[in-house]
Amino acid sequence: MEASTTFKQELLLREYGRNVQDLVNYILTIQDRSERTRLSQLLINLMAKLNPQLRDIQDSQQKLWNHLYVMSGSKLDVDVPFELSAMEYLNDKPQRMSYPLDTPNFKHYGKNVELLIQRATELEDPKERDAAIISLGKLMKTLYRSYNKDSITDDVILNDIRNMSNGKLNMDLGYIESNNLFESSGKAASQEPQRYQQQGRSDSGRNKKNVRTSSNPRNK
**179-191 pLDDT tens trace:** 999 987 654 434 4
Assess contact for 87 and 8: CB atoms under 8 A. yes
pLDDT at residue number 186: 52
Return the DSSP state at 96: P
pLDDT at residue number 160: 93
Return the DSSP state at 88: G
Instruction: Report the chain's mean pLDDT, rounded to a whole number.
Output: 77
Residue 67 has pLDDT above 60, yes or no: yes
> What's the CA gap between 107 and 101, in Å, rounded?
14
pLDDT at residue number 195: 43
C-alpha closest to that of 66 among 38, 50, 88: 88
Residue 6 has pLDDT above 70, yes or no: no
Residue 120 has pLDDT above 90, yes or no: yes
In this prediction, residues 128-149 reach a mean pLDDT of 89
Assess contact for 138 and 144: CB atoms under 8 A. no
pLDDT at residue number 43: 92
Maximum alpha-carbon separation in the chain: 112
